[in-house]
Structure 1
């Protein structure tokens, strides 16, 4: 089985524009590129990654695809097209789909001032293009409202596969539960919806978190999705806001250690390989 990190980023502050990334972000307000991540993947035994967009721009997507050409470790790229401009999105998708590792689309919906951005008619039309192309949509769900939209999208865009990034950021630090748990379970009732066990450390106490803090939330996700619809992601380098790659890998594995080997293998690579169509590592 190929071990896959289903959610990581690169950015170059000298060549790209990332307005959301300000000096207030401390340790991640700098350039991150593949040579820095490669030894950390090797130490963890991770063979392929899914490189996910960090800005709603063609420039970011083009840079990621160039990195995929240069580094075999990048098994898939989740890029961006203007879903709210369907005619333009169709042209962009036609171009990007020629790249063998262009494997999905994401939009920073949590940065849009309209919490209902993703369910406006033009975006629904854009998402229909993804469904027709067999490309999945990564859902950034930060507000409960974002998670409420997932069943709506499943109904309005038949055939669209979706994956909820970071388990929709459960309220780990405050040890909260609802409405997150019920909304996640409702989303999981839609068979084409998956989720990423990623970005949980930055939802917990940055200084003290361990796998035990994450456990109830991961176990709930396992209960409602099953391992065949869950995938591990590091969310590196954002993960550096609360630890490092090695800790995220170690503590996530501790939470998953009680699973049967086949189920653990699904979360650590099998699900992502199927979902994004990742080829075996060379």
Structure 2
């Protein structure tokens, strides 16, 4: 759930206070409940994580490595834009390219073989950020082409798409100062022209929005059938503020919207990102951190619905670290995913844990 609009406003937001939707990471609290990794040899592509470099919160390559090598076999990852290390000079529109430059500079560039995911040893260092999703202000319309070209050059073959957040709700208390957007941005003509540039360049679009906005995303999927769309965090589950104490109603309407999206074959879903305050699970309120069994039980209705609607071939597990680290440890989160999927076939689990992410983001391309 990182990032926001770019340019000069993006640089100012880097210095903004942490959003109340971002929970503080309490290492001592997490340490009280860390489990041993289940199925430690199961290959995983982490479909969504960030590097953060903000006042009071730093989470960079070594921090992610410490989590990724804590027991599970994370063989590669997809990096998601997070307002990190923008350029400090030059045209405003091009300043977000600094994030892509930074990620490439600190991560290896060895391509991942989608057929032979060697090295197989769980202790091997993962190939971090083998696919990169950057930020570009899609409101620039056709003029965003120059920004996308700059990202592609900076990405040295690893840029796969763009995320420009559209999170908005009539309940202003849900607004995140880092990511707030005007209403109905997905219907804006300039924004649509920016999406057209992604489609022309065979880049993907990562969508972070709230579940009441999913109908607008379905319209985008119809307007751009060749554009790969990846819905972040199970479709933006919101169960606080105006949506608190409305659990069955929220689930019903969320599932209906996801069912409509599933009829669009160019839409995929990331399973994860449910450790944020906005999701309403309240994991951070416990005296002890949640076990993987507890996580799996709370997540099962939502994630199993996504898998049932989209199929394993269009779903992928994500850590969303470090954002979700405020609610549970890396090990316990992936253990929960393994528990959730234990009754699926080996081929289906391969899609969920690495196959879908590798295919959609072109790992090994």
After superposition, the C-alpha distances for 1:134-164 in whole angstroms (9 at most, x for unaligned) are: 111001022412x111210012223111010
In 2: Cα distance, 1:85 partner to 1:172 partner: 33
In 2: Cα distance, 1:186 partner to 1:74 partner: 31
The answer to whether residue 232 in structure 2 is matched with residue 165 in structure 1 is yes
After superposition, the C-alpha distances for 1:93-138 in whole angstroms (9 at most, x for unaligned) are: 1122232111110012113342211220011111011111111100
Match of 2:185 in 1: 117
Report SS of the residue matched to 1:85. helix
The answer to whether residue 67 in structure 2 is matched with residue 40 in structure 1 is yes
For residue 131 of structure 1, the aligned residue among 196, 199, 209 is 199
In 1: Cα distance, 2:68 partner to 2:45 partner: 10
The answer to whether residue 266 in structure 2 is matched with residue 192 in structure 1 is yes
Match of 2:120 in 1: none
In 1: Cα distance, 2:66 partner to 2:228 partner: 32
Structure 1 gap ranges (5+): 15-28
Contact 1:55–1:108 (Cα < 8 Å) also in 2: no
RMSD: 2.1
In 2: Cα distance, 1:133 partner to 1:102 partner: 11
In 1: Cα distance, 2:43 partner to 2:199 partner: 26
Query: CA offset at residue 165 of structure 1?
Result: 0.1
Contact 2:79–2:132 (Cα < 8 Å) also in 1: yes
In 1: Cα distance, 2:82 partner to 2:208 partner: 11
Match of 1:23 in 2: none
Contact 1:78–1:102 (Cα < 8 Å) also in 2: yes
> Which is helix-richer, 1 or 2?
1
TM-score if structure 2 supplies the norm length?
0.68
TM-score if structure 1 supplies the norm length?
0.87
Contact 2:271–2:318 (Cα < 8 Å) also in 1: yes
Query: CA offset at residue 55 of structure 1?
Result: 3.1
In 1: Cα distance, 2:333 partner to 2:44 partner: 15
In 2: Cα distance, 1:153 partner to 1:261 partner: 33
In 1: Cα distance, 2:139 partner to 2:222 partner: 18
